[in-house]
Amino acid sequence: MKHPQALLGAQRVTDLAVNVVLPWFWSRAVAGRNETMKARVEHRYFAWPRGEDNAVLRAARQRLLGAPGRP
């Protein structure tokens, strides 16, 4: 390629951060009884921009919450 390309897109970085990296840091903070780090990780997790919807999330939502319009 003529120009450098990113190996990971923004959506994949978000998926990795909120599903792998931040939970790992949080569990390490809990195991080490580091309340400051735990609070910082929680803050970062809840401040992270919302990810895009995808087929896996839609399927999980349907299985957990039922079909749309169903009581």
CB within 8 A of 22, min separation 6: which ones? 41, 44, 45, 48
Residue at 54 is within a domain: yes
Residue at 5 is within a domain: no
Give the chain's domain count.
Answer: 1
Residue at 4 is within a domain: no
Residue at 71 is within a domain: no
Question: For a pLDDT cut of 90, what percent of the chain falls above it?
Answer: 39
Residue 61, domain extent: 10-65
**DSSP summary character for residue 53:** P
Helix (H, G, I), strand (E, B) or coil at 25: helix
Residue at 40 is within a domain: yes
Residue at 1 is within a domain: no
- List, for residues 15-42, the tens digit of each pLDDT value: 889 889 999 999 999 999 999 999 999 9
Dihedral of CA atoms 61, 62, 68, 71 in degrees, nearest 10, equals -100
The predicted structure's pLDDT at residue 71: 47
The predicted structure's pLDDT at residue 67: 66
> How many separate helices (H) and strands (E) can be counted in the chain?
4, 0
